[in-house]
Amino acid sequence: MSWQMRGVGLVLRATRKPRMATAARARKRLAEPKADPAPPRRFRDRHDVAETEVGGFRVYRVEPQGPPVSTVVYLHGGTYLSEIAPQHWALVSAAVDAGCRVVVPLYGLAPDHTCDEAYAFLVPLVQDLTAEVGPVVLAGDSAGGGLALGLAQVLRDAGVDTARLVLVAPWTDATLTNPDIDAVDDPWLSTPGAREVARVWTRDGDLRDPRVSPLLGRLDGLPPLTVWIGTRDSLHPDTLLLVERCREAGTPVTLHVAPGAVHVYPLTPTPEGRTGAREVVAALAGTV
């Protein structure tokens, strides 16, 4: 583990973890105003960005300089309550520089929007995009990674092919009941707060619903998965379980594990993060 990763862990423990340590604190965060999700000015200056609205939700489509090597639908993380962040846009920028066309749908967040609304928005969006360009890459980090996996399952059942799945520290089981989670020294994520947000996002629905807990859904018939996870991430135990169950179901999966790395480590300003980001971009572009 690099000293930079240790430093990131210390900062996260002091500033981020306490904010979701209890259900009450999570409810306080849910009541806070959302950040501006628009791409930063530097991003717009560097890339060809088109903004549209689909079903009341914003969709950004970013085109590369030349013919696209792949079309990626990227679903950002943020525990279903936080808007897309500059770190996400930086990863999207790197993917566009690598030749990817990237579509970024800003699905609705808790407490004003729900899981049902997200799927009602995303399923036809990907169906229409697939009809236009062929099978797409579904990608996401954290909550967005879980949403990408759940979306792939729904699309599979609807007969829509996807090219591959690229998942960074995906949140694949909203119940967070894996007993191995308690043994993880995670400086960032807090189970009580995350579970409370999932409850709100599902409107007190069943947290075992595969749309919010795709680890509990069918994992056969999916496209190849590539997954990144750090060992200081509360989602590490469920990620290992996802890999095991995918292999049992006959779904090809490649796992990248970074010892000592925190949640969504490819988005962090660390040596591990830079290596992970390069790997993620290569997977999005289909060059690995």
Residue pLDDT, tens place only, 187-219: 999 999 999 999 999 999 999 999 999 999 999
3-state secondary structure of 63: strand
Residue 288 clears pLDDT 80, i.e. is over it: no
- Whole-angstrom Cα distance, residue 127 to residue 215? 23
- Whole-angstrom Cα distance, residue 8 to residue 3? 9
> What does the mean pLDDT of the chain come to?
97
Residue 20: pLDDT band (50, 70, 90) is very high
The helix-helix angle for 271-285 and 3-15 (nearest 10°) equals 90
Q: Residues 135-160: what's their mean pLDDT?
A: 98
CA angle (142, 148, 150) in 5-degree steps? 105
- Whole-angstrom Cα distance, residue 172 to residue 229? 12
Domain locations along the chain? 3-285
Residue 46: pLDDT band (50, 70, 90) is very high
Residue 287 clears pLDDT 90, i.e. is over it: no
Chain centroid to Cα 217, Å, comes to 17
CATH number, domain 3-285, options 3.40.640.10, 2.130.10.30, 3.30.1050.10, 3.40.50.1820: 3.40.50.1820
Residue pLDDT, tens place only, 49-95: 999 999 999 999 999 999 999 999 999 999 999 999 999 999 999 99
Residue 247 clears pLDDT 80, i.e. is over it: yes
Q: Residues 1-14: what's their mean pLDDT?
A: 97
281 phi/psi in degrees, rounded to 5: -60, -40
Q: Residues 1-22: what's their mean pLDDT?
A: 96
Instruction: Give this prediction's pTM.
Output: 0.97
CA distances from 200 to 58, 81, 110, 137, 205 (A): 22, 10, 6, 29, 8
pLDDT over 90, % of the chain:
99
CB within 8 A of 93, min separation 6: which ones? 43, 46, 47
Q: Residues 231-247: what's their mean pLDDT?
A: 98
251 phi/psi in degrees, rounded to 5: -90, 120
Q: Residues 89-113: what's their mean pLDDT?
A: 98
